[in-house]
Amino acid sequence: MLKSVALLAALFLTIQAANYCMKDKELSENEFFDQVQGTIFANQQNRVVAIECPDPKDNSTCLYIVDRIGYLKDGSWFVGRFLTPVPDLTKGFLSVSKLVKPVFKSMSTIDTATWMVDVGTMDAMTPNSVELSSLFTTGHFEMNRDVSGNITFLGVATGGLMSFFSTYFKNLKLTGIDIDPQSEYLAKKWFGYRDTKNSKILIGDGAEHIVEMARRGETSDAVLVDACHNHAPPDGIYCPVEAVRTPEFLKSLSAVIGTKGTF
């Protein structure tokens, strides 16, 4: 124990020394904010961090990773990350996460594109939050972090809800199915999602997955459906997609959740 503390201290000193050598001066909270706001955000509130186009020949498939500076009532600030279909936030957003501010504040850490995602924090006003809380407020799951069982996610978006569950509920087995491989890619690249022993993302047709589960007689304690179009579909109905509105799907769903499951 002592040895590892000493080792850590040595490592810390080495890192500090390296930073010193690189003239990477530690900035005060205010200096750091000024650099993030001025240099990285060019004094705007939002900025596009990346444009992700799964089909480079069809720009209507592009989604934007947008970081935005936010303020709390106590005057402190944070950075949120959004996934949106347009370069600004005028058309709403598909998902939002909070970023972790770097511990060592310097010129080399001002770029929010390199910050980690705080997967253990969720905005209470989002659909994810409603899905999460309703599993407990309805009495479906006991209000206890040791609760065990399994959840099937049809559509994983950026993996935010799965990440949150896997951070706090170690005894829940989580399976996400998404028809769009881009979801898993975005979840891992920009939104901090990691597969774990209890949390996996599969690429495939979620509706088909439920039909297959029913056929095999498998059950799930909860099936959460977040299967939506990313861009406006011709009929204007974003959610849920057609495949999870068919009688065959609903019949299978009913078998999969049984009398004790929830949807």
Ligand X SMILES: *[C@@H]1O[C@H](CO)[C@@H](O)[C@H](O)[C@H]1NC(C)=O
Residue ranges in contact with ligand X by CB under 6 A? 51, 59, 149-150, 173, 218-221
| Between 47 and 173, CB nearer to ligand X | 173
Residue type, 91: K
| Between 110 and 213, CB nearer to ligand X | 213
| 76 phi-psi bin (left φ>0, alpha ψ -120 to 50, beta other) | beta
CB of 253 to ligand X, least distance (A): 14
| Between 87 and 102, CB nearer to ligand X | 87
| Between 46 and 121, CB nearer to ligand X | 46
CB of 192 to ligand X, least distance (A): 25
Asked whether the beta carbons of 207 and 246 are under 8 A apart, the reply is yes
> Encoding tokens for residue 206?
């979620």
d(Cα 146, Cα 148) in Å, to the nearest integer?
Answer: 6
CB of 53 to ligand X, least distance (A): 7
First and final C-alpha spacing in the chain: 47
d(Cα 255, Cα 220) in Å, to the nearest integer?
Answer: 9
- Nearest CA to 172 out of 138, 147, 141 is that of 147
Alpha helices in 122-205, H assignment, sequence order:
127-137, 160-168, 181-190
C-alpha of 153 from chain center = 13
Q: Distance of CA 202 to CAs 146, 155, 247, Å? A: 25, 10, 24
CB of 57 to ligand X, least distance (A): 7
CB of 201 to ligand X, least distance (A): 15
| Between 99 and 222, CB nearer to ligand X | 222
